[in-house]
Structure 1
Amino acid sequence: MNTSVFYTKEELEFQKEIRTYLQENIPQYVEPALRGDYSAMRKAIKIMAKKGLLGAIHQKKYGGTEKGVMAECIISEECGKVDPSINMTRAVSTIFFGMPLSVFGTEEQKEKYLPKIISGEQIGAICMSEDEAGSDLSNMQTKIVREGDEYIINGHKKYITNGSTADILAIFGVLEHLQEEKDPRKRITGFLVESKTKGFKIAEEYELLGIIGATCARLEFDDLRIPVENLLGKEGKGFPILMSELNVERAIMAASCVGNAQAAFDIALKYSNERVQFGRPVSRQQAVSFRIADSALKIHASRLLTLEAARYLDQRDEEFATLAASMAFANASEMQIEVTNACIQTLAGKAITYRYELPAAMWRAGPVMWVVGGTTDIQKFIVQRQLYKSLKLKKD
């Protein structure tokens, strides 16, 4: 479907350029990465970095392109069409980790780490979730104690994307000397931690239902000593740091869902017009053709919601950006599962063999996208909260 009316001329040229680049240079690394060859993943990340696809929101002086959130969403959709695992690894490193560093890091921290992230030399990760702190980050249990010129971290993090392969991580926990703060969110503090630091342990590597080329791990910290210069932002200001990147994260993940669904849909559309049963293409069967029509409607609607969110984010309109980003992600994460499920029904046996088949890979990625950046239920909660907030009404 032609969506050129929603992009500027420059954005359309950028989209076409990176679509060609990704389709020509990344597919060869997909299957090796899915088989657990992480060197293939790193090669794919570095190839994208050469084209500037890891630095859209970052400043030029650190190697970024300063193109903005719209450009990042275009990248995420096009990369999502190739493989959700590679796009997830890229986004977590350059956005989930890179954005808090870019906004809240000291000049020394940014000079030390951002160029390596943007060039693909290093992989980043952000550590929020714990056993008792998923959607409710205020319930973090990881403890941090100040001792002289060091902070000592003890605790764990759970379901950390890039956790077992990241070179540098942003780890958040609760500062013990801020216990007098009644609001637990005001005790949360972030730190930049290199994975080679003594006391950093990869306790478990998870095998996910989808996005299997991206690593996901449980991490444990045993007297992990961090120099004071690795404090990210200020003491007790970790919660705002975590919240600051979520709107961009949600828009980017929505774009990835759109790309995942579009790739599967393109295959199903072509196949339905070529596959002949009972003497005619299966596209002539109403059940199939209506399924195709429904999928096209859902993809197009999700893309428009995502583009709206990106525009608001680039305009720094926080009120509308929060609403738009959560609407886009809530819609797109559900749309991806619905559309890829429909595509598998259309493709039938062609889509369900264990050998890597793109529509099935996109379908398996769906449940993962339900929970990244906050569950779909959380997105809907944010939507209703913002709507009632706009009416200046209270809602318990």
Structure 2
Amino acid sequence: MLTIFDEFYNNKNIPDFLDDDGILMNKENNIQLKEFLVNNEDLVTQMLSFFEYDELETDHKRVIKYPFVVSELLGSLYALNANHLNFLIQLLNSHNSLPSITIGYISKVIMNVLKHNPCFFWQNVQLPQLGILLQDINNYAIAELIYSMIIYQTQDNQLDYLKQRMELVNCLLNDINTDRSEGISNVICMLLQQITETLQEQKSLIIKHLFTKLDIFLSALPYRPQPILSILINLIKHQQYYESEVNQIYNHFLERSKELFDDLLKNSGSFGQNNLSYIQFYDVLTNQTYILQNINAQHLEIALFQLIQKYQFHNQLHKYATSIILKLIPQTDSQQLLQIALSEFKIKPIKENRGYVVQIINKIIEVNFNLQIQEEELQNINSIQNNYFFGQIPDQKPTFNLQEEFEAAMNKLQI
């Protein structure tokens, strides 16, 4: 019995097939449609040809609608063979610049293959085929696709082709100190953030491999601070299982914090995103007890306050710098900082951005007040202990006995 799909195909009327609005309804569960596509490889080939880009094409449907419908269908129904897969890889590798939206459509279809049968992908795609593709990794759709190549979404056989996938990770790391660092950082951060617990076996191996590359990250840091710091922030989150490796990151920044902040203060230009990324990173670092115990907190809090003074209208800097200072105050003698903050407040008492100064002053007062109370309590305890030592028992507060007080009151009434 012929279906509506067979009727379209027999008439060679592919545009009508793609124009049918009902074709996308319940596409994930349309077994009849999936079987039809699997059994008609030539139709799938012709559908994929709509991804080919022609900048002279003016037909709205040919440029916009048909590529969208194809991506929705084949991005949901697993119906590709090896030739189809290689055709899509070749399209992404083509030197003709594809529009970003088309790259997204193609990536969606390939990611559907990776979702349902990742082994099929690696059986038919060789690592050298991905070389040109990696050059476009700053495109987020490509970054997501590379992530999906590295991580098997299926729990079964999650260690298959692990050698090839690790080689792909190494290809990324080899280019970390290039203009592709942002896209590479996105992929690595996805690896560190998004691997679910059901994929724990491959997750632990991949993260362990990334920790062996710390030297690569740290050597690229001065040249690509923003993407590298994003990676380090996500590596730190795995401290529970990689304590010594994370301590290596901590010690690197403990040794260089004074030099780093002195350089930031010497900067005569605007406070750009790369500089801000260091402040954001130290906001993460100072959540760790190890850092608070070992960092030169006195120098850091003064340097941060001077940065706030220098860049009066940089709200993001104020936010993160103030957050760090508030964490450092209990670790330091903050009298010098208090004097600077009070002077700053007197100079600019009506400025809208004086709020950070108020927060810092209040925190210093709060910490000092608590210390004073603790000292008074400690003195009281020591005094009591000394009195006991010399045989002087402190006066005991009279205890209140409700029954006795009640009986005494009743006796007075009887009189």
TM-score range for the pair, normalised by the shorter chain length: under 0.3
> Which structure has more helix as a fraction of its residues?
2
User: With CA pairs under 8 Å and 6+ residues apart, which has the higher RCO, 1 or 2?
Assistant: 1
Q: Which has the higher strand share?
A: 1
TM-score, structure 2 length as denominator? 0.25
With the length of structure 1 as denominator, give the TM-score of the two structures: 0.26
Larger Cα-atom Rg = 2
